[in-house]
Structure 1
Amino acid sequence: MTTPDHHTIIVGAGFSGIGAAIALDRAGLHDYVILEAGAEPGGTWYWNTYPGIGVDIPSFSYQFSFEQSTSWSRTYAKGGELKGYADRCVDKYGLRRRIRFGMHVAAAVFDDENDTWRVDLAHGGSLTARFLINASGVLTVPKLPDIDGVDTFAGVTMHTARWDHTQDLTGKRVAIIGTGASAVQVIPEIAPKVEHLTVFQRTPIWCLPKFDVPLPAAARLAMRIPGGKTLHRLISQAYVELTFPISAQYYTVFPLADRAERLCRAYLKREVRDPVTRDKLTPRYAVGCKRPGFHNTYLSTYNRDNVALVTEPIREVTPSGVTTADGTTHEVDVLILATGFKVMDVDAVTFDVTGSGGVELADYWERNRMQAYEGVSIPGFPNFFSVMGPYGYVGSSYFALIEAQTRHIVRCLSQAAHQSASRVEVSQEANDRYFAEMMRKRHRQIFWQESCSKANSYYFDKNGDVPLRPATTFEAYLRSRRFPLRDYSFSA
């Protein structure tokens, strides 16, 4: 049997990859390398640098439980601060020397004869490893719109995930396509600078204000005294848990979202003066069907004289602007695509994965629907683990997901080391049992309200499934520590 280059390859140096690497080191599994397409660590917070970018849950929850910052400047940190936190984690835990930057992974193929993964790089060459961890995330590779002529626009075109900071929007006629989470943050930032901003909306988004304020000196000091960080985090975690895992995953038990919709409607009425614009901005689906926005000035931006909201469908993009179905052409200088990312798609994994017997992961999900045991492992794909696989994420802090899933992965790899096993694979029976459990419990989720069919939400995949785990953060935490290792086969 051929000896691989490394015990483990981690794809991605965002927070998922950082968390996976730290977990491996803590378990004594030091022979790993991290392959990162970008020039720096940070993942989402490296690639996404658009104006106004920030986290949409409190900073105290958006961090590792074992590496809590005492220097957050705001209740909701901005993108640069989160990128700085990633850099500090990389340096503190000695990961920088283990990361190979500029390494875009094109494909990974499992070698049945040697129980190894061959990872092919886009620029040429390959590496091999016994185990492969997909930590590439879902908010890094932009999803381009399927609009005729979008590549013919003669002006400046940029996606929010690839913002061009050399472009000065001052005095320009700007169009932005999309009103999702990124657009909610960008629009209020650029509206005061541009000559005119045209927002093309396909589906409106529910929006709520957030308590986003600079942290006073007393709060920053409190984070530095014994127990201070823990108290901040507990309060923050309780808020996060209440606003998504409990209200969305247990909607039929705790219909808290119904009250949230009343708050959204009241906020919309208070913020937007023109009743016609207000009606255009009012979703026709229930709160929770689609990821809501959280912003204090997004809605009021539509009161500006230089901002126009267009809800007529786009027919095509021309060299000079955007033409809608009614024949109107909106001439612009800059076209911004706020069209999000591939999240719940079969090709959401950023590289091609071919498992045992030549089975491709995208084809497997196409035939069997998206599924993964505990959101981590897939039968037929030995020695392959995902941090954000189908039915792993409960919707709370992404760091809670990272810590739970990396604990699951490390349990498998430690057991493999204990048994001197070269092949680790989840059984079909265990996978089927878990998928059946997900189907059995999903009826209580918020996503199955009748109006959700109108939401155009990325929560739903092409089969109409929502591959989110119907559980609380605490349930996921326990499962990662108690799932039966017998659900896997360990063989030499």
Structure 2
Amino acid sequence: MTPDHEVLVIGAGFSGIGAALGLRRAGIDDFVILEERDDVGGSWYANTYPGVAVDISAFSYSFAAEPFASWSRVFPPGEELKAYADHCIDAYALRPHLRFNSRVKRASYSESAHVWTVVLGDGTALTARFVICATGWLTKPKTPAIAGLDTFKGDLVHTAQWDRSLDLDGKRVGVIGTGASAVQIVPEIAERTERLHVYQRTPTWLLPKPDFAVPESVRRLFRRVPATQRTIRLLTDVVTELSFVIAMVHYRRFPFLAKAGEAASKLYLRRQVKGDRTLMRKLTPSYRVGCKRPSLSKGYWRTFTRDHVELVTEPIEEITPSGIRTADGEEQDLDVLILATGFHVLDNLPPFPMRGQGGRDLKEFWKTERFQTYEGTSIKGYPNLWFIVGPYSFTGGSWFGMIDYQVTHALRVIGEARRRRATEAVVRPEKHDRSFRRNLRRMRNTVFLDPSCRGTHSYYLDEHGDAPAVRPASTYEAAWRARHFDLDDYSYER
């Protein structure tokens, strides 16, 4: 059977764009990129709430092979990330490969034909020899299971589905959630509201955000001498690895890094809230830094020192037609309710039914036998399939570093299958299981198994007590392994 395409990439966010760039560099032109929305950019196209921005340096949050010299700031706003996605699409002439408004409904593998059949929402079926699943994590907004949510009569909006026409000026606004989205949106909207109530379930560790404008003279230097930008990227990569990856993944070996981060965060909190002990107590996490991803901010904590802003730590009992009632019986009338409650992450993998050998559904496999992968990207029993973002894929450092090494892995196998004239490549079960055992063994050294992490509602952890959202390795190790794993860890058939 001759499939419609050699490679099918699902998703046109940065993971899908990275896969397409890799295919271009490998000389593979028979591919299509399916995207359920009507434009590229993924999360950076969908998320347009006030204050949305990248939370690590843009010099690291970009493809190593496609640097961008036009960042206006060290931590640029979301619209610049969307512009960077467009830049990559045009620089590599990828638009003819894009197919928008193409939501994948299901995918299944034919063991006889060695092809994947992908059925779209409109009933169209496409076949491909190889599939790269680049659907990302932050795609399915999480709506909190709070009684009465559907009865609220005011304006109700999730940060991931922002309504740009929403008017907050002079309004009584409630924000549920204190994660990364809330840290960005709360300071941005505070001045516009008459009253702002932020409902916190779990406080977040914060560190100062060293954000500043990049002068035009520096941007010109980047364009004329690209090595200068590569040098800065190396520095920001190292800082990210030390502050996030090493501190989290090698917590038991280097506990002083986590303690230093907590001390720095507490000092920053003290300065932000001007010594208000009650507020400090409410905003100080009781878990180790790293149990949940810490955030960077320039003014989130300071916002709660404003007279018209209130931090509410009492549990929400019910949402009423006019506002929110908490467990202590207090009720606040609201005009606008903002859900900064994040996304379904692990429980949205994969985001559609995907059946491999024997017709087994991948979501069911992971549910019954725990999340597991080979080198964070492929799964036994699911030939010709690789995930850019899956269990044990992300080290916690640069998202783009992960994309680079995941794409490198997939393209090495596809290239080997082509060399052998094979139509099927599937990881050997014993190699897959060894990789999974290594991850479980290494996870013992991470912060995620610290008792303080229990009950934090961290998306790093799953119902089994594993932390499959993080690969227990540095980005540099993961990149090395992607370039050097034994290609015979896969079996190849024709």
TM-score in terms of structure 2 length: 0.97
**Other-structure match for 2:196:** 197
User: Residues 31-430 of structure 1 correspond to what in structure 2 (within 5 A)?
Assistant: 31-226=30-225, 227-255=227-255, 256-273=257-274, 274-345=276-347, 347-430=348-431
Do the aligned partners of 2:349 and 2:390 also contact (CA within 8 Å) in 1?
no
1:451 matched to 2:455? The reply is no
- Higher mean C-alpha deviation, range 395-404 or range 310-319: 310-319
**Contact 1:107–1:352 under 8 Å retained in 2:** yes
Following the alignment from structure 1 to structure 2, what is the Cα–Cα distance between the partners of residues 161 and 357?
Answer: 37
Q: Distance in 1 between matches of 2:333 and 2:30?
A: 55
- The Cα shift of 1:143 comes to 1.3
Shift in Å, 1:102: 1.0
| CA distance in 1 between partners of 2:188 and 2:127 (Å) | 45
For residue 343 of structure 1, report the CA deviation from its aligned partner. 1.8
Aligned equivalents of 2:21 and 2:232: distance in 1?
24
Shift of 1:286: 1.2
Mean CA deviation greater in 105-114 or 283-292: 105-114
Q: C-alpha offsets along residues 47-74 of structure 1, whole Å, 9 cap, x if unaligned?
A: 1111101111111101000111111111
Name segments (4+ residues, structure 1) moved above 4 Å: none
Q: SS in structure 1 opposite 2:426?
A: strand
The percentage of counterpart residues that share the same residue type is: 49
Residue range with higher mean Cα deviation, 262-271 or 401-410: 262-271
Q: Deviations over 1:191-236 (max 9, x none)?
A: 1001111111100101111110111244323323432111111111
Equivalent residues of 1:223, 1:232 under 8 A apart: no
Residue type of the alignment partner of 1:440 = R
Measure how far apart 1:300 and its partner are. Answer: 0.1
Query: For residue 11 of structure 1, what is the aligned residue in structure 2?
Result: 10
Give the unaligned 5+ runs of structure 1: none
Q: Secondary structure at the match of 1:192?
A: helix
Partner SS, residue 246 of structure 2: helix
1:436-490 superposed Cα distances (whole Å, 9 cap, x missing partner): 1111112221222221114221111111111111111111111001111111111
Q: CA deviation at 1:245?
A: 1.5
Give distance in 2, aligned partners of 1:45 and 1:275: 37
Q: CA deviation at 1:326?
A: 2.2
Q: Is the 8 A contact 1:44 1:139 kept in 2?
A: yes
Give distance in 2, aligned partners of 1:407 and 1:248: 25
Map Cα deviations across residues 214-269 of structure 1 (whole Å, 9 max, x no partner).
11244323323432111111111111111112121112222211111011111111
Please give the alpha-carbon distance, in whole angstroms, between the structure 1 residues aligned to 2:91 and 2:193: 41
Q: 219-228 vs 100-109, which deviates more?
A: 219-228
Paired with 2:189 and 2:320, the residues of 1 have a C-alpha distance of: 23
Find the aligned partners of 2:177 and 2:77 in 1 and give their Cα distance.
21
CA drift of 1:313 comes to 1.0
Q: What secondary structure does 2:33 align onto?
A: strand
* Structure 1 position 486 matched with structure 2 position 454: no
* Worse-superposed segment, 371-380 or 348-357: 348-357
Distance 1:259 1:428 in 2: 41
Deviations 1:127-167 (A, max 9, x none): 11111111010012211111122122121111111110011
Give, in whole Å, the separation in 2 of the partners of 1:108 and 1:325.
Answer: 45
Shift of 1:405: 0.4
| Structure 1 counterpart SS, 2:169 | coil
**What are the ranges of 5 or more consecutive residues in structure 2 without an aligned counterpart?**
none
Q: In angstroms, what is the RMSD of aligned CA positions?
A: 1.2
Name which of structure 1's ranges 237-246 and 45-54 shifts more when overlaid on structure 2.
237-246
Q: What SS class does the counterpart of residue 224 from structure 1 fall into? A: helix
Cα distance between partner residues in 2 of 1:302 and 1:115: 58
Contact 2:5 2:127 in 1 (8 A): yes
Give the secondary structure class of the aligned counterpart of 1:235: helix
- TM-score relative to the length of structure 1: 0.97
How far is 1:327 from its partner?
2.5
Aligned length: 490
State the alpha-carbon separation in 1 of the partners of residues 65 and 417 from structure 2.
26
| SS of 2:107 mapped into structure 1 | strand
Distance in structure 2 (CA, Å) of the matches to 1:167 and 1:336: 11
Residues 50 and 186, structure 1, Cα contact 8 Å, conserved in 2: yes
Q: Secondary structure at the match of 2:99?
A: strand
- Cα displacement string for residues 412-451 of structure 1 (whole angstroms, at most 9, x for unaligned residues): 1111111121111111101110011111112221222221
SS in structure 2 at match of 1:241: helix
Q: Distance between the aligned counterparts of 2:429 and 2:146, measured in 1?
A: 40
SS of residue paired to 2:397: coil
Shift of 1:178: 0.5
Per-residue CA deviation, residues 88-109 of structure 1 (Å, 9 max, x unaligned), is: 0001101111111111112111
Offset of residue 373 of structure 1: 0.3
Q: CA deviation at 1:380?
A: 1.1
Q: 1:126 to 1:316 in 2, by over 3 A?
A: farther
* CA distance, structure 1, for counterparts of residue 254 and residue 324 of structure 2: 44
Q: What per-residue deviation string (whole Å, max 9, x for no partner) do you get for residues 78-126 of structure 1? A: 1011110000000110111111111111211112222211111123322
User: Are the counterparts in 2 of residues 37 and 101 from structure 1 also a CA contact under 8 Å?
Assistant: yes
